Every structure is written in C-alpha cells, then in structure tokens.
Amino acid sequence: MKQFQYLKATNNAGVISAIAKPGTKIIAGGTNLIDLMKRGVMAPDKLVDINNLPLKDISQTDTGLHIGALALNSAVSENNLVMQQQPLLAMALKAGASPQLRNMATVGGNMMQRTRCTYFYDTAMPCNKREPGSGCGAIGGFNRMHAIFGASSKCIAVHPSDMCVALAALDATVTLSGPKGNRTIPFTDFHRLPGETPQFDNHLANGEMILGVNIPANNFARNSYYLKVRDRQSYAFALVSCAAALDIQNDTIQNVRLAMGGVAHKPWRLFDAEKALVGKKPTEENFAAAAQLAMQGAKGYEYNSFKLKLAPATITEALKHAAGLI
C-alpha cells in the first residue's frame, strides 16, 4: 500500500478545505476505502478522519427523520424511530454486508462505497472507472453482476448499496456542505449514471462532504418490504433487489414507492410503475403488470440476461410482501 498522511478532523471547515486538495479523501468506517487502498485501486496521499465530528445523530424533525452521515449502519437499522417510521430502511440495512461491517460502516460511507465490479478491483484489467480511457473489462467479459438499466459504452457497473435503494424509494434528501456553503438535493440525484465519465460515481462537487440524510414522513410503515435476491443468504451483494412501499386505504393503493438495486449505476427508481399502481387494487396481477412496465428500456449482456426475468419477478414478490399477500 502506498504511504499516506493521516489527519484527524475537528470541524467541518477543516474537512472541506482538506478534501478540496487533489489526493485527499475522507475516511470514516473505512470498510470499502481500506480494501481499495490495499489493492492499489485507490491511492490517496492523505486521509482525513471525520469520526470525531458530531454527525452521528438520528432524530425526529418537523418533517420526518434526520440521520447524520456518521450514524453507523447497525445503529440506524436498530433505532426505534427508524424501525417504527421507516421500517423499509431498517430492512435494507439489515440485508447489507455482515453484522461486523454494519458496526463499522456509516451512512455517508455507505453512499460513497464503490462498485464491486471485479474488473474495477483487478488492477491488471482495463477499467474506465479506475483508469479513464483504458476500456471496460466487463463489456464482453464476465458480466453476471452488471447493469441492465442506464449503462453506457464506457461502463456497465452497478451501485452495490442496499441502504441507498431504500433511501431513493423513500424520497430522502441529502445535505452536503462545501466551499460554497450547504445545499440539499434529492437522494435520487446524488448518484449518477456512468455516461462518458464513469470515474465519477456521484454529483458531489469538489470539496463537498455529506452531512446527513432526511427522510420525509409518510404512510408506508405498515406496508413496506425490501427483497434482496443474491447468491447466498448473507454477506453477498444483490443480483437484484427491490424496495417496495405502499400506502393502502380501503383496499386501494393511494401511494407507492419502488426502487431497485443491482440493476444500474445508481439506485433505480421505478417512477412509471409507481404511477401505474396508484388507484389500483393491491393484487398480484396489478403488481406483475407494473413490474413489466418497469422493465421498459432494460438491456442484458452475455451473462446477466437472466436479470431481465429476475427483476420483474423480484418487483412483484416485493410488492406482494409489502401488501401482505404473502
């Protein structure tokens, strides 16, 4: 591993000025960054440890819940406010990684984690995300875990998070702080598609850090479910996952939120399927029709075309669980 400097931050302003310099990265739980540094995929000159900043709070606000960027994944998943008001988020977090990793990983770090594309981690292979212009080993390679939505000719990687899929579904917002002050953006606008510049995973500006996320209050707590389909029951990334949240009144769907993981470079919100379900009865037939609608524009590659069938089946199953049909 390349030698690096280590700095313990005492305030946000110090972090922002430090990370504005090229080669400086934030470290919190380090559950992904340290792996990447050991393998030579990332080689920062300086790490800024932000663990002493007061960003661990999980609190009620006038509009919903606030979760600080340094709240641990385990703490959020077991927090009473989260379990009662946003059980979808608790389920998604518990589906991610292992208990040991969830005890180290933070909410901000979860958002910043990088793809698990094997070519990205193998420095002997071409990868436009790791080394822009070098090519993509996965296109034409072993692409079983890769995207079916929103990919480009430069990169077909997927974002690996479960937590982020739930936050995208729940209309969360992200508060960022940087040299120009604070700003809040929709969670669905935080991560980006690969396009021509897959080296960028998100829309963080230079020198910006994550302060936390806010989840607006909703009526989804009784009918929500996170379904993760993976190669083994624990400690595996999603082949396909679906966050489903329903507001059902008098046997009619008043409101619905749907997002998928394991299918795109960012959490993939299913806006058309949501619109199609509003006003409908919560039946398997309606769920399956919405799931088919969600597949418009999907494209498989040599080894991941099974996702074209697995994805709509996962959406349908998640909705059935959320509605209490199974």
Residues that bind ligand SF4 (CB under 6 A): 115, 117, 119-120, 127-129, 136-138, 155-157, 198
Residue placing its CB nearer to ligand SF4 in the complex, 64 or 198? 198
CB of 123 to ligand SF4, least distance (A): 11
Residue placing its CB nearer to ligand SF4 in the complex, 156 or 209? 156
Residue placing its CB nearer to ligand SF4 in the complex, 30 or 132? 132
CB of 313 to ligand SF4, least distance (A): 24
Residue placing its CB nearer to ligand SF4 in the complex, 102 or 130? 130
CB of 133 to ligand SF4, least distance (A): 11
CB of 96 to ligand SF4, least distance (A): 20
Residue placing its CB nearer to ligand SF4 in the complex, 119 or 190? 119
Residue placing its CB nearer to ligand SF4 in the complex, 91 or 158? 158
CB of 197 to ligand SF4, least distance (A): 11
275-295 exposure pattern, b = at least 16 Cβ within 10 A, e = fewer? ebbeeeebeeebbbbbbebbb
CB of 151 to ligand SF4, least distance (A): 8
CB of 259 to ligand SF4, least distance (A): 21
Of 299, 301, 309, the C-alpha closest to 150 is 299
194: CB partners within 8 A, 6+ apart = 128, 129, 150, 151, 152, 154, 155, 156, 157, 265
Residue placing its CB nearer to ligand SF4 in the complex, 136 or 264? 136
CB of 194 to ligand SF4, least distance (A): 7
Beta bridge partners of 76: none
Residue placing its CB nearer to ligand SF4 in the complex, 32 or 173? 32
